[in-house]
């Protein structure tokens, strides 16, 4: 198991319950601790933010009870700091055998077994490998901005844990989704001068009708039923039907990924952005260049008109794009062996094509989390997708006898 975020920890816990031999590597919750602003909140509600365990007693509510606190209400967003503490508690209680070292390389020699090399220098072989490396490898920066990354003038939202370093500086945030909008709010609250540039006008989800799902009016529960991802039939389908989504045409799956719960901000972000952060909507990137130690950003306004903006820094809040070639711990030969389809829409073209049990075209190689979202739909973009994933992958590995790790 490569990765110790919510997906890796959940799969390991389910393997342990099935008595399947495994090894799991990584720093627990590292992506959340090292690649997200410390002051952020999760977009998902408390009821959709539990890591799946094979037995009751390890949800976010139980963790809050252990800390002597209320289990939470639908209208109370989950702070990142709390979610990280919860993930560490889950690891200590459900996956105590985690090995806190990084996987340097995964290769697959002709004998069919995977060869794994650790940062510690240890090498061993295994029959199966689960890649649960989170979202960080897939951070997407538009090509118009990539030339300024090495100069330190452009970054991605995943590059920052402390936005106070931009206090007193002008920052353009590109994008209209949750990460872009929350970054702009945090920049403003940290004393920076942010502005948002986006193709579409930012939108914000409606607040929950009640603090508990059972308190919603009966007619609302019938017309807009409750699901783990939220209320409404589209979210019910995506929450309960990831196995069916896999069989949909590629363009339909791409549409679901693009439109279900995004790009938009959480309801509680509205008052922190509107009237506080300038938003330039209907703009698309034209070019970016270094000028006087900052960035000269040119954007198209609708048609052929081009506007020029100046900023000390630009942050891409442009999300993540799955591409197997970005998973650099897999050897180049192994990456080339993973089947993709050039005929797929751009959002899916670099993603692995997965079987019903999350297995790639290379036997024994599994992908979890965001890397599986192009196959199974938007549920896999959120923590609430850990249950479906962990049950499928652990059942497959149990049937196959586990990963069967052996020293080289």
What pLDDT is recorded for position 222? 67
403: pLDDT confidence band, cut at 50, 70 and 90? Answer: low
Q: What share of the chain is helix, strand, coil (3-state, %, to 5)?
A: 35, 20, 45
Which residue range forms the structural domain that includes residue 299? 143-204+264-316
Taking residues 52-71, report their average pLDDT.
Answer: 93
When divided into structural domains, the chain yields a total of 2
CATH classification of the domain holding 83: 3.50.50.60
Q: Identify the pLDDT of residue 345.
A: 84
What proportion of the chain, given as a percentage, has pLDDT over 90?
Answer: 81
Q: How confident is the model at residue 206 (pLDDT cuts 50, 70, 90)?
A: confident
**pLDDT tens per residue, range 105-145:** 999 998 889 999 999 999 999 999 999 999 999 999 999 99
Closest CA to 6 of 381, 403, 378, 402: 381
Residues 68 and 132 in one domain: yes
Residue 240 in domain: no
pLDDT digits 0-9 by tens, 322-345: 999 999 999 999 999 999 976 678
Q: How confident is the model at residue 408 (pLDDT cuts 50, 70, 90)?
A: low
| Residue 204 near residue 277 (C-beta atoms within 8 A) | no
Question: What's the average model confidence in pLDDT over 241-265?
Answer: 92
What pLDDT does 208 receive?
A: 75
Q: What pTM did the predictor assign?
A: 0.94
Does residue 35 form part of some domain? yes
Predicted confidence at residue 70, as pLDDT, reads 82
Taking the C-alpha atoms of residue 320 and residue 371, their distance in angstroms, rounded to an integer, is 10
Asked if residue 193 and residue 85 are part of one domain, the reply reads no
Q: Are residues 20 and 162 in the same domain?
A: no
Name the residue with higher pLDDT: 73 or 331: 331
Q: How far apart are CA 293 and CA 282, in angstroms?
A: 27
Same domain, 162 and 129: no
Contact 273, 198 (CB under 8 A): no
pLDDT at 263: 87
| Res 212 pLDDT > 80 | no
Mean pLDDT (whole number) for 308-317: 98
Q: Are residues 44 and 128 in the same domain?
A: yes
pLDDT at 72 over 80: no
Contact between 320 and 135 under an 8 Å Cβ cutoff? The reply is yes
Give the residue among 85, 91, 83 at the shortest CA–CA distance from 43. 83
């Amino acid at each position: 198991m490569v990765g110790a975020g919510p997906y890796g920890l959940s799969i390991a816990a389910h393997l342990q319950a099935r008595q399947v031999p495994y090894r799991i590597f990584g720093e627990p919750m590292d992506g959340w601790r090292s690649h997200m602003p410390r002051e952020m909140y999760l977009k998902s509600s408390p009821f959709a933010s539990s890591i799946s365990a094979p037995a009751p007693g390890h949800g976010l509510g139980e963790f809050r009870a252990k800390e002597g606190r209320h289990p939470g209400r639908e209208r109370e967003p989950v702070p990142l700091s709390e979610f990280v503490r919860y993930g560490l508690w889950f690891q200590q209680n459900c996956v105590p055998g985690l090995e806190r070292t990084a996987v340097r390389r995964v290769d697959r020699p002709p004998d069919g077994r995977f060869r794994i090399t650790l940062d510690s220098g240890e090498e061993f072989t295994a029959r199966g490998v689960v890649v649960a490396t989170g979202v960080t490898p897939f951070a997407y920066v538009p090509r118009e901005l990539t030339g300024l990354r090495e100069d330190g003038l452009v970054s991605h939202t995943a590059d920052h844990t402390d936005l106070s370093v931009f206090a007193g500086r002008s920052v353009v945030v590109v994008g209209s989704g949750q990460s872009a909008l929350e970054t702009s709010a945090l920049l403003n609250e940290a004393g920076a001068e942010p502005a948002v540039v986006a193709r579409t006008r930012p939108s914000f989800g409606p607040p929950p009708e009640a603090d508990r799902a059972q308190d919603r009016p009966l007619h609302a529960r019938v017309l807009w039923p409750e699901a783990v991802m939220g209320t409404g039939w589209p979210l019910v389908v995506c929450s309960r039907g990831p196995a069916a989504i896999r069989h949909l045409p590629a363009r339909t799956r791409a549409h679901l990924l693009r439109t279900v719960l995004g790009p938009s901000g959480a309801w509680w972000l509205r008052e922190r952005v509107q009237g506080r952060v300038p938003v330039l909507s209907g703009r698309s990137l034209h070019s970016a260049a270094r000028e006087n130690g900052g960035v000269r950003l040119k954007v198209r306004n609708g048609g052929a008109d081009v506007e020029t903006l100046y900023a000390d820094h630009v942050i891409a809040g442009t999300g993540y794009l799955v591409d197997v070639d970005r998973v650099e711990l897999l050897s180049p030969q192994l990456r080339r062996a993973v089947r993709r389809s050039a005929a797929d829409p751009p959002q899916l073209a670099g993603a692995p094509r997965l079987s019903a049990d999350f297995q790639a075209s290379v036997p024994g190689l599994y992908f979890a989390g965001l890397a599986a979202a192009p196959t199974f739909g938007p549920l896999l973009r959120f923590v609430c997708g850990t249950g479906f994933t962990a049950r499928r992958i652990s059942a497959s590995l149990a049937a196959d006898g586990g990963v069967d790790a052996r020293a080289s």
